[in-house]
Amino acid sequence: MLALARDDIQLNCEAMDWQEALALAGSSLVAAGLAHAGYVDGLLARERQGSTWLGRGIAIPHGTPASRGEVIATGVRVLQFPKGVPWHDGHTVFLLVAIAAQSDEHLDILRQLTHALGREGAEAMLAKAEDADAIVAVLGHVETPPRLDADTLCLNLPAKSVAELAMVAAARLHGLGCVQPAFVAAIAGETPLMLGSGLALVRSAQAVDVPALALATAAAPLEHGVFGVFCLAARGQAHRPLLERLERLLVQGQAGALRGLSADTVLALLAGEDGETHTGRVRLLNAHGLHARPAKLLVQTARAQPVPVRMRLLEGSPDAISAGSLTKVLGLGARRGQTLVFSARGEQAEAAVAAMLEAVTQGLGESVQPLSEAVSPRQPALSVPAPVEAPAAGVPIAAVPASPGLAVAPVFVLRHPHFEYPEKAVSPAQETTRLDQALEQAARQLDRLIQGTQGAKVANILSVHIEMLADPGLRDATLEAIHEGASAEAAWWHAIDAAARAQEALADRLLAERATDLRDVGRRVLCLLCDTPLPEPPETPYVLVAEDLGPSDVARLDTTRVRALVTARGGATAHSAILARALGIPAVVGAGEALLQLADRLELAVDGDAGRLIPAPDASTLRSFERRIEAQARIEEEAYQSRHEPACTRDGHRVEVAANLGNTAHAADAVERGAEGVGLLRTEFIFMAHPDFPDLETQTAEYGEAFDALAGRPLVARTLDVGGDKPLPYWPVPAEDNPFLGMRGIRLTLSRPEVLEMQLRALLQAAGPRPLRIMFPMIKDIEEFRAGKRIFDRLQAEIQAPDVQLGVMVEIPSSALLAASLAAEVDFFSVGTNDLTQYTLAIDRGHASLSAQSDAMHPAVLQLIRMTVEAAHRHGRWVGVCGELGSDPLAVPVLVGLGVDELSVTARRIPQVKAMIRRLDMDQARAWAALALAQPSSAAVRQALEAAAATDLEQVGV
């Protein structure tokens, strides 16, 4: 909270305009050691977004979220301008309270300020004060209203005495951190004051950290007819209005109604909301809470209503304040996710409250990201789906290739356990203990898996699972349901299911498929809560078939026994698929629910390269698979031995082979596997790893790690690619019906150019003299490229990195169709075949039933790649392919034949892709490309290429 001293006050300041005043305020914050010099720009940027005028001659400037990296410590500097400063919104400012705050701490400061400014005559005194102590006296010493919310209520307990109720209430305040043990001891010696109507009061001012009021009620009346005891942790006189409302309830004979009520109803009564009051509640969605800008719009909405509107914070004091008072609204200190309760009386009260709810829901002038809707706790749908007909023997099944390789082995169908548990529980305390014990045990299990697993990638993903277990958001959501009477099992799965469904709603499959990780973590804890063992695979070699697989399922696999992984659901970017590739296990995903009906020990042939399955293969198919497996083993060994040699065709045509990276930490491993550079660095990883925009120093250090590992090899970095389909929690955007077609990629970053500018600056600074290639994602035409390039050119003129190219990703069909105009100005193209395919074919590549048809080998996609390459080469530009197509064995010859200059693939596939290229000659590759382009469908393309491959298996390396 705000603690002012004389040195924090500057009297008799002068400024000609608001910019000069803010510059003076920023310099004061810098001189006080609260911020770096760059924070001044944040103050100016925030003011341009909207006035920080608080009212009554006072402004409260603070920086933008992007400038928080310039904050050294939270604090304020108060500048007095007795002559006034003309503000840009037409007001005159006499007092500036300049705030330097990390995260949303400024809301606490605003809350204290607005309580101080609520004092009668405070504004005039602050503007004309001639002594700093006088300002300190007003702003630095504020009595905080007592806390009273659902957590301070302990209702309908099986208590045996009034003294027991008093101790329960005191203990609750201690558990919430409001008081110290000495307070509880003092209450133990207190004689309760009988208030009447079945209520009593105990109080103490000893060892109070946060003033608060608790209420404990008994399920049945106790001695003297008492059913409830209020416990007051008092400090100063801030509790008096609350006790006065309680007194009115007693006088009006309504206090007895508190017995047997829910927490919400108790709080409503204590807030003065009775049967004549119309109320409504709404969750606050704004990313940074009810700060000055949205608060102003809220106040304007309230003032426009025909009847007075009051409001309170459900999670705070039940004190209802006027919604038409800006200082009082700011004084609530409401944060994202908290609930605002509006109330009004009179004929038009219902319409007035509805208008307030609508204003908050629409974001109060800001773009907001909806919270996941709560649903009642329910059991997970973890049992095997309703039976469907099993696949026919010997008939190939098309699916999505997820990890390359071939295998034939008996099937083991992994059926997740069916959990039986009660929905409700009697003791929230006991359920909380059970939950915490299960979370701790699950973390120990995962730690043991990490210690015994193979490979850093597996360990890293399982480490993320440990972080999920420690996520306070999951635990808080679970505890909320437990306190409402749910069992630990029901509450936990509700929290997991809600989080997973929110993740699945994201259009970006890379993020949406992380729902599998959440459910994997959820099942682990549920097994512990229900004392249900996880299923164990056989001791002999097998193909694992499952509805879906979690990363810990994959990590537990004994790779000496498991021959392949097959899932009915999921996509090629799920963590289970990523881990399968990391472990070198063939995998096919999205094969359909019928696979779950396969009988255990039935033979299954798996082609992880083509994404094809054959149940109960005949003798001829088995012999073919065996020959291919033997040939593939030889090829892979030879490829690995020559992994550091360049990828040149037999007639000398060079194709660079680089690595796709989702994290700079993997750059060294990519180089070891033969990568000639990084063809795609997904820079959003650094933004997703931080609770707020990573600052310049953090980004520069992260990118520098990759440059160091590459040792002079080129790095192609994609600028931040997030948006409506994969939002950052600290950068909410409006909900979109189709986020694939909404605010994402370059569109979003151009809406916040300071974010793009900082990232470009970090990349240029990190590169130094080393080769850097920057590409903008989701470019649709030349205008979008030019908008980003203007920022780049300005920074490059300043930094002058010597080896930099600026290009675009071809992910939207329009950019391929307009490649000729783009090629005149860009330095290179990188084709993102994953997005290009789904935009071209209008098929979501993660769709449960259509994903197998989302094939980048479709001739329409190949035609767009051809157009891009031809336009680029006419202007002397190079073209890379960074999607999954680049590592498809059938596609490599086609891409080389189309003239693609670089293939960027997963690190594990680099040796094999290089080896495929070395076995080609360009005439052969061009023939394959022409053959593919002549086909009418992706199925026809693959069929034609497989027929060609059968005639010359050694040449093409499949």
Taking the CA atoms of residue 907, residue 911, residue 913 and residue 915 in that order, the dihedral angle to the nearest 10 degrees is 170
Cα(958)–Cα(955) distance, rounded to whole angstroms?
Answer: 8
882 is catalytic: yes
Neighbours of 98 (CB within 10 A): 29
Query: Interhelix angle for 428-452 vs 472-483, to 10°?
Result: 150
Cα(360)–Cα(370) distance, rounded to whole angstroms?
Answer: 11
Token pair in block for residue 104: 């949303």
User: Comparing C-alpha atoms, which of 943, 854, 862, 947 is closest to residue 897?
Assistant: 862
Strand partners, 321: 311
Burial (CB < 10 A; 0-12, 13-18, 19+), residue 452, is exposed
Cα 562 to the center of its chain, rounded Å: 34
Which amino acid, 781? D
575 is catalytic: yes
Per annotation, catalytic residue among 115, 278, 575, 666: 575
Cα(599)–Cα(389) distance, rounded to whole angstroms?
Answer: 12
Which amino acid, 845? R
Token pair in block for residue 580: 């399968």
* C-alpha count within 13 angstroms, C-beta hemisphere, residue 463: 7
**If you ran DSSP here, which 8-state letter would residue 387 be given?**
P
- Asked if 53 contacts 97 with a C-beta cutoff of 8 angstroms, the reply is no
User: Comparing C-alpha atoms, which of 929, 852, 743 is closest to residue 367?
Assistant: 743
Alpha-helix residue ranges (DSSP H) falling in 57-143: 105-117, 122-128, 132-139
DSSP labels, 580-630: HHHHT--EEE---GGGGGSPTT-EEEEETTTTEEEES--HHHHHHHHHHHH
Instruction: Please calculate the CA angle 482-146-99 and round it to the nearest 5 degrees.
Output: 100
291 is catalytic: yes
Which amino acid, 277? T
Cα(722)–Cα(833) distance, rounded to whole angstroms?
Answer: 18
Cα(687)–Cα(268) distance, rounded to whole angstroms?
Answer: 41
Sign of the alpha-carbon torsion through 219, 263, 204, 188: positive
Which amino acid, 711? A
416 is catalytic: no
Which amino acid, 147? R
Cα(834)–Cα(884) distance, rounded to whole angstroms?
Answer: 7
Cα(828)–Cα(901) distance, rounded to whole angstroms?
Answer: 10
Burial (CB < 10 A; 0-12, 13-18, 19+), residue 655, is buried
Residues 6+ apart with CB under 8 A from 351: 305, 306
Strand partners, 878: 828
Beta strands 339-344 and 309-313, pairing class: antiparallel
DSSP labels, 333-361: ---TT-EEEEEE-STTHHHHHHHHHHHHH
Per annotation, catalytic residue among 291, 465, 666, 858: 291
Burial (CB < 10 A; 0-12, 13-18, 19+), residue 734, is middle
Cα 297 to the center of its chain, rounded Å: 28
What SS3 state is found at 407? strand
Token pair in block for residue 328: 């009082």
Cα(215)–Cα(262) distance, rounded to whole angstroms?
Answer: 12
* C-alpha count within 13 angstroms, C-beta hemisphere, residue 57: 17
Please list the active-site residues. Answer: 62, 291, 575, 882
